[in-house]
Amino acid sequence: MDFDSPATQDGVLRKPGTPLSPARRARVLAGLSQEELAVRAGLSRSTVALVETGKRTPRLDTLSAISAALGLDDVRSLFPDRASS
Domain segments of the chain as ranges: 1-71
CATH of 1-71, one of 1.10.1530.10, 1.10.260.40, 3.10.20.30, 3.40.50.2300: 1.10.260.40
How far, CA to CA in Å, does 83 sit from each of 2, 67, 77, 79? 27, 15, 8, 7
> What pTM did the predictor assign?
0.72
Per 3-state DSSP, the chain is made up of helix, strand and coil in percentages (nearest 5) of 45, 0, 50
Segment among 10-14, 32-36, 66-70 with least mean pLDDT? 10-14
Residue whose C-alpha is closest to residue 28's, from 80, 84, 78: 78
53 three-class SS: helix
Please tell me the predicted confidence (pLDDT) of residue 5: 43
Tell me the average pLDDT across 56-71: 91
